[in-house]
Chain A
């Protein structure tokens, strides 16, 4: 299969998956027993009689059959309208626009941290196999994947916030600081554009602990895969050939081993993004980080069904697009992988 055909096939799969996802989450949130309007009314949000109740249902299209509601929802979604929250009465897309960059910023810094730590640790671990340093690295990666991320966050907050007082405990920027002007929504970029250096360093300060914790939760995964794939490549015949023709060890590892060993590592980067987005839900909750993860949790608590559907679809789009890009990159790097 040539690469163009492969990309086309992968894109159509992506579209199919996203349609399936909207259907699944929609049915999940709206198809189950429980009438969102009745819930709202009984929650005391609106004091009203039956007339208002029916008028409310008609206004928000809640009296339509399920499939019509779904088609309306998808139609609006395609036009970029994610609907209005029945709970907050605000257009949900405004919330997501404000919160999404916060999550991406956190996840991106964590991603950098995880890659810069995880890949070298995996390489060292593989090259010094069965030495004490290999055992230490493997133990640390095992701890990272086994630790509840919210528990690690609490421990580090006790040490670095309550006890040492060297990091902030919540938010993206100090409350008494001016919030950076919204250009991209990424504080690190916006503060640089506007030359607001105090804001930049403050934002970095706020990012350190949450991104370390989030990154640490996936470092282990990265180190383990890197280690395993290097060990697999290093015992191949062509590596022995490279050695026996007298190449320096540095060249053998750098040119022959690393290039092939990195493919499995790149393959799991998609998985890594999933781990980061999952972890972001918990990390954001702990650090009162105003991102989509915390928004999802808040919407869930408020029984804001449409907001939950929207945020799930947004996270789904981000995650499956990351996976698609990884698949295509890997297909470019390794012509044998064209499925």
Chain B
């Protein structure tokens, strides 16, 4: 029985191939290094920070960047560098939670609805249509506000607009996979549907989800910063990067460094995940790889 299962499933050694591909791809290495730095800052940022992020008057207000205050000081004499470091864990948490929850929930919904089909599938797809009928950031904004404008409200808002992507992606993968011989064979062997879904269909349709999750990690950070910027996410004194840009905005004429450095932190994080996502997609999409190799 077990042997049969193994031979029925198309063989892939994606993981090893992936590591080899990353090794020879400079942008991928670059993005992984940057992501590693961000994770490090997220985990240990407050320990590395020279000052407490909310300690006022560590220097005189609105000081230019210097060796003592790398990113300058803000209007209360707080150290902007320490504030940016302290914001790392917030964004890391946002990315992990949004991708984790939206990815898991959306994938489950997509697997089940694609496999079962019929009216359940139809109902699920119409629900995703409703979520997709409003531009994503606007939808997240409304949800986050109705839940009381906080970081967690923003996380819920972004999760609720992002799960649909996974549901649709996995669903189309399942539908493509469902008609193949090895699934018919598994069915004929009398395997339980949940076993077919998780042991056979999912392993063969998750790659696109992996790419999506990588992009979404950056997108979650970007969206959360936007929500905080307009006041629907993190509230002062929380040092979320978007909130830091928002509060520094009014001093921009006298002190450009207050909004610019936190904004750069957002940009760097999102860029790194986008580069990694691109690399993964190029690698995992054999059709694209083929057309890129071809010479005319």
Contact = CB atoms under 8 A, between A and B. Distances in A.
Interface in A6-25: 13, 16-18, 20-21, 24-25
B138 A277 contact: yes
Contact of B145 (A129, A157, A158, A300): A300
21 contacts: A13-B126, A13-B129, A17-B126, A24-B130, A142-B275, A150-B226, A150-B245, A151-B260, A151-B263, A151-B264, A154-B245, A162-B253, A275-B135, A277-B135, A277-B138, A285-B230, A296-B138, A297-B230, A300-B149, A308-B145, A319-B134
Interface string A136-160: 0000001101111111001101100
Contacts of A157: 252
B163 interface: no
Contact of B136 (A13, A21, A274, A297): A274
A274 B136 CA distance: 7
Interface of A: 13, 16-18, 20-21, 24-25, 28-29, 32, 129, 142-143, 145-151, 154-155, 157-158, 162, 228, 231-232, 234-235, 273-275, 277-279, 281-282, 285-286, 293, 296-297, 300-301, 308, 312, 315-316, 319-320
B105 interface: no
Nearest to A33: B148
A319 B133 contact: yes
B226 A142 contact: no
Nearest to B223: A278
B137 interface: yes
Contact of B242 (A17, A147, A148): A148
Contact of A29 (B146, B242, B249, B263): B146
B288 interface: yes
Contact of A151 (B127, B267, B288): B267
B142 A308 contact: yes
A143 B278 CA distance: 13
B146 A148 contact: no
Given A28-B143, A142-B271, A315 B134 contact: yes
Contact of A312 (B142, B147, B225, B259): B142
B142 A20 contact: no
Contacts of A296: 138, 141-142
B108 interface: no
Contacts of A300: 141-142, 145, 149, 230-232
Given A145-B274, A151-B245, A235-B291, A21 B133 contact: yes
A17 B130 contact: yes
B226 A282 contact: yes
A18 B130 CA distance: 7
A189 B143 CA distance: 35
A16 B232 CA distance: 29
Contacts of A286: 249
A315 B263 contact: no
B154 interface: no
A154 B231 CA distance: 17
B291 A312 contact: no
Interface string B250-290: 00110010011001101100110011001000000001101
